[in-house]
Chains A and B, each alone.
Chain A
Amino acid sequence: MPNFFDLNVHAYPETDIPVDDMFRIAKRYGYAGIAITNHDDTEKGKEVIPPLISNFIFRGVEIRTKSVSELKRKIKLHYGEVSLLAVHGGAEEINEAALKDSRVDLLAHPCGEKGEGELSHVLVRYAAENGVAIDFNLNAIIQSRRSDRARILWKMRQNLKLVRKYKAPAILTSNAQSKYDLRAPREMIALASLFGMKKEEAEHALSAIPEGVLEKKWKKETEVEII
């Protein structure tokens, strides 16, 4: 069985579930690693990035802003400090700025948490070029019902088509806010089949691609100036 990863999990201090609890449940569900990506603009502020507890947990941060200039400033601030730099997507200009920047590892829920944003073919092409992973947020499918869910599934289907066409890295995440929101890998694969993802594809999106994202496999090496 491959190693499964969930790269978008929120824990203490953003929510009241401690990292230990998440760790225990995720391990029980059969994950090889989770990345704690708390939003950087929460009130409890400074200690967003969790301390390193074990090799099972990767430290990350999810940048949430409304303006592009602030996004760039924050990317500069956090780059190199964390092993996973995610951007809270949704608005089109934020999506564009994040996908154009090769320092970003992951664009979380590019269609917003309720499916209000959109991705175009140009943006997905940027993602493929810069090695920014596009995230399919399965929590949106779990939490919504009826017309909301239909809209979200339709958008995910569209995104999947673009991702297949341009071969951009796509991953499945749970965006869990509590231990009840986590789902086991097999369940995630079953949920991904709702919007047309094949089983092998989904397995890949849960194991090999997240691993590659953590290892910065698709990043071009930065040129070193020789003086």
Chain B
Amino acid sequence: MKRILTILFILSTLTSLLADGAPLFTAKDRPYDKGDAIILEWKLPATIDSLQIQKADSLEVYQPLFIPLEGETSFVDQDLSYDTRYKYRLLALGSADGDSLLLSASAMTKQNWFYMDKLAYLLMLIILSAAIIYYILAAKRGKEFFIRRISGLDSMEEAIGRATEKGKPILFVPGVAELGDIQTLSSLSILSQLAYKAAEYNTEIIVPCRFSMVLSAAREVVEEAYLKAGRSDAFREENIFYLTDDQFGFVAGIDGIIVREEPAANFFLGSFYAESLILAETGLSTGAIQTAGTANAHQLPFFVVSCDYTLIGEELFAASAYLSRDAEQVGSLKGHDFGKLLVIILIIVGVALEIAGISWLKTFLMGAGS
């Protein structure tokens, strides 16, 4: 009993010493990261006037790293290599002789197995994926789902019909992004359906591409669509071509095609930036039926003003499922709807909790779980 009391006394004395302003400088590996940062923390007496933190380089020579402002008590040294020991020292200059301090600390960076601050994203992803897979399986079992009409996609047949009547081609622009962009992939999925219908109607389809990878995929998609429609003889490889990687060179090329060929229907589907309005207005001037779609929200107003139909955000991603009417794909659209419901609930609950002064949900969702 006496021994326990002695230990408790020593511990409390040490704690009170530290609390009373004993200088402290620590370095520790930032938890739940890829081993690229060290957290430095310090606690110094009030007599200190200025501070400097130094870091040892590969030759063990200390170089200035950071000069903290008054009141700052921590610093995160980032862009470090993993599994490496880093040494730091803190130089503190006081107003009187004997107040100055030199404290050292070191820590080793360590790679971890989970980004704890992304826990909320992971949970959301699992819930959404589970919902989408559930609806896909339900659709496979034969359950029918209602999906609302998307007039921009319903008009596709009308646009092709008009092009056929006028004997003019259809222009399809799969955006200005590389093949790695999900909007380009969605665009190519729509191109597949469009090319199939164009082949059935025996209408020419022109597909200018900004990148060679997109060209390669677009050719494959159109060729397969013609083959599926039993019109492989009508497929013209030269109608799917590369223009240029340059953004405005690409726009100039397409504008030239619009003015010279005067397509009866223009489709601008994919990722678009500053060129959206230039393309859509040029198309409008020729009187073509225009359908546009992008998930780049800042370009949507331009398309809405200049095009007959616009696919807004998620409609671009839903287009392939909508057009194919494939039960599995339609089922996945129901999964999107579940996701929307989940987001709506989270927003309402989040707002209510914030009004009540409870912030844990917001903190968790913003990724401060670590």
Q: Do these two chains really belong together in a complex?
A: no
Which residues does A use to contact B, with CB under 8 Å? Answer: none
Which residues does B use to contact A, with CB under 8 Å? Answer: none
